[in-house]
Amino acid sequence: MNLISNIQTGIHQALQSAFGIDIDASSIKLERTLQDFKGDFTWVVFPYVKQARKSPEQTALEIGEYLLLHQFISEFNVVKGFLNIVLNESSLLDYFYSARHDASHFKTDFGKGKKVVVEYSSPNTNKPLHLGHIRNNLLGYSISEILKANDYEVVKANLINDRGIHICKSMLAWQQSGLNETPQSTGIKGDHLVGKYYVAFDRSYKSEISLLVGEGRSQEEAEKQAPSILLAQAMLRKWEANDVDTLKLWETMNGWVYEGFKLSYQRLGVDFDRYYYESNTYLLGKKTVQEGLDKHVFYQKDDGSVWIDLTSEGLDHKLLLRSDGTSVYITQDIGTAQLKFDEFQYDISLYVVGNEQDYHFKVLQGILKKMEKPYAHGIVHVSYGMVDLPSGKMKSREGTVVDADDLMDEMHAEARKIILERGKTEGMTQEQVEILCEVVGMAALKYYLLRVDPQKRLLFNPADSIDFEGNTGPYIQYTNARINSVILKSGETDDSRGYTRLVPAEKELILALHSYPSILIKAGEMHNPSEIANYVYDLAKRYNRFYYECPIAKDGIVKEAKCFRVALSKFTGETITECLRLLGIEAPGKM
């Protein structure tokens, strides 16, 4: 049962009966009534007054009178061209009792029959994950789960950036000064150890540039002629030529990084169905470049470099292969797009990548369209803003990033501090306390990053993310734990239908629950987990109002009211738990 569908059908029939206007009922837009006016849903009459040939007020009045003939509304009011509709209690209760036993409340068929590949994470194997990677991973995972709930067939993909000049920089620095260090000999997590040498290379490179500039070279000349960068470029050419020693070092150091990533992913709670490696996909990309040359889609300069002209698409000329035959990022993405389509025949291929790559993905789609690839129109860039800190912007090469593992440790410690201060650990073992601290700390981190629209730049302050009273993950978790406690203490399991008189807090909670499927569709359609995050925060607030205004265990509460309120609490708890799951957040039963 859908309350909005009932109203849409009623308005559709009223327009036909009163004015002879025939429109698709699903096109009738309804909004929740503003707080300053009486009503549950509002319909704007203005688009139909010309056909009705009456004033907005008279048109709305006649539609309202028609709707009163239906049993699902109790009254209405007209404010200029706005029809405010008040649902009656029986329709709300009928919805509640049918929905809470209907599994489709948590699923939609919006994406039925469509396959989507969601590519996210895509780390470089020259450094550990940092705060920006955390936002990427959480967005990709949550979008995937939201799409699954909308009945899309979803493949979670991770393209590992395991080759290129940046990888050679770490390799070269380790080769020159690593003294055969390994994760085992140092006790340093593998991705951190490799990242240490990436920073070391940059320091050495900058020092060389400074010396060359001091000798009279221009900044640009110094950057190109510094010994370190020349050696790194030579190493990249040896790698692409399959030099045995270079490949052996590359495999060893990448192996260290993969073990480190695995631990970070497990702690973040994200997973993947398919891994791709640029060391493989760039070869297919180079093959596709040759295909483009043969079809005269690409052109070759005198120095041997290969380009495409995208000026007719409002873009620019784009390099696809360097003069020495080595590939660039776009070459690898061309190959990966083909590989993914060959494997999965996707309808949509989502790329969860920061907004600094907006132009890159316009170019990628432009290239694929020029080559008349059947999957070109399915390319979608889920662009998201960068994450800043109170201290400023992060820089990987300078070692000023907020490391993902360190941040997760900090969130755990902050959660422990607050949980112990609240004194809510009585009867728990030390192990249980630590598990709770981890669950709460990760909820604080995840919710804070996901509650903001992905396209917006985000300032992350760990201290603000853990608060049991504000718009935070722990607040929502605590509300869910409160619901579990209410149900447990009530001892009631019967959801008797004898309750017939709703108070405002109960009515608002039912209406909030009713809107969940439409929010789920919107979040999937927009690839935006913040729709779920903001919805579940609002739902938690409404439940807490209900909790204080509608007692359950208080003496004198009739059994019908008690049973109904327990059932309403349980349905709310199930919806909160599902929302948190879509955000990758656990819902502990006790806090």
How high is the pLDDT of residue 1? 64
Mean of the pLDDT values across residues 104-109?
92
Domain count, the chain: 3
418 and 501 inside one domain: yes
Consecutive H or E run containing 517: helix 516-526
Q: Is the pLDDT reported for residue 424 higher than 80?
A: no
The answer to whether residue 236 sits within a structural domain is: yes
**562: its two tokens:** 């008690």
81 and 134 inside one domain: no
Q: Reduced to 3 states, what is the DSSP secondary structure of residue 46?
A: helix
On whether the CB atoms of residues 522 and 147 are closer than 8 A, the answer is: no
CATH number for the domain harbouring residue 574:
1.10.730.10
Per the structure, the complete domain to which residue 521 belongs is given by: 404-582
On whether the CB atoms of residues 333 and 364 are closer than 8 A, the answer is: yes
Give the side-chain half-sphere CA count within 13 A for 569.
31
Mean of the pLDDT values across residues 32-55?
92
On whether the CB atoms of residues 199 and 269 are closer than 8 A, the answer is: no
373 and 430 inside one domain: no
| Angle of CA points 21, 25, 31, to nearest 5° | 110
Distance CA 194, CA 413 (A): 26
358 and 217 inside one domain: yes
- In this structure, is the dihedral angle defined by the CA atoms of residues 140, 145, 150 and 151, taken in order, positive or negative? positive
On whether the CB atoms of residues 344 and 315 are closer than 8 A, the answer is: no
pTM over 0.95: no
374 and 416 inside one domain: no
Q: Is the pLDDT reported for residue 396 higher than 50?
A: no
Mean of the pLDDT values across residues 54-69?
93
- In this structure, is the dihedral angle defined by the CA atoms of residues 417, 421, 424 and 425, taken in order, positive or negative? positive
Residue whose pair of structure tokens reads 């025949």 in the numeric block: 345
pLDDT band at 142 (very low <50, low <70, confident <90, very high): very high
Mean of the pLDDT values across residues 500-518?
93
Report which residue type is found at 351: Y
Residue whose pair of structure tokens reads 């039963």 in the numeric block: 589
Neighbouring C-beta atoms of residue 34, cutoff 10 Å: 11
The contacts of residue 30 (CB under 8 Å, 6+ apart) are 4, 7, 8, 41, 42, 43
491 and 363 inside one domain: no
Percent helix, strand and coil across the chain, each rounded to 5? Answer: 60, 10, 30
CATH number for the domain harbouring residue 149:
3.40.50.620
Question: Of the candidates 349, 344, 342, 343, which has an alpha carbon nearest to the alpha carbon of residue 376?
Answer: 349
The answer to whether residue 426 sits within a structural domain is: yes
How high is the pLDDT of residue 591? 82
Distance CA 383, CA 527 (A): 10
178 and 225 inside one domain: yes
Consecutive H or E run containing 353: strand 348-354
171 and 293 inside one domain: yes
Q: Reduced to 3 states, what is the DSSP secondary structure of residue 65?
A: helix
pLDDT band at 133 (very low <50, low <70, confident <90, very high): very high
Residue whose pair of structure tokens reads 């500039």 in the numeric block: 213
295 and 202 inside one domain: yes
Strands 115-119 and 153-160: parallel
On whether the CB atoms of residues 402 and 391 are closer than 8 A, the answer is: no
The contacts of residue 381 (CB under 8 Å, 6+ apart) are 350, 351, 353, 357, 358, 361, 362
Backbone angles phi, psi at 217, to 5 degrees: -75, 155
Distance CA 529, CA 464 (A): 20
Q: Reduced to 3 states, what is the DSSP secondary structure of residue 64?
A: helix
The answer to whether residue 381 sits within a structural domain is: yes
The answer to whether residue 396 sits within a structural domain is: no
The answer to whether residue 83 sits within a structural domain is: yes
On whether the CB atoms of residues 334 and 342 are closer than 8 A, the answer is: no
The answer to whether residue 520 sits within a structural domain is: yes
Mean of the pLDDT values across residues 542-563?
89
Pick the residue with more confidence: 439 or 557? 439
77 and 142 inside one domain: no
Question: pLDDT tens across 334-347, in order?
Answer: 999 999 999 999 99
Burial class (CB in 10 A: 0-12, 13-18, 19+), 447: buried
pLDDT band at 327 (very low <50, low <70, confident <90, very high): confident
Neighbouring C-beta atoms of residue 477, cutoff 10 Å: 26
The answer to whether residue 174 sits within a structural domain is: yes
The answer to whether residue 397 sits within a structural domain is: no
Mean of the pLDDT values across residues 162-187?
93
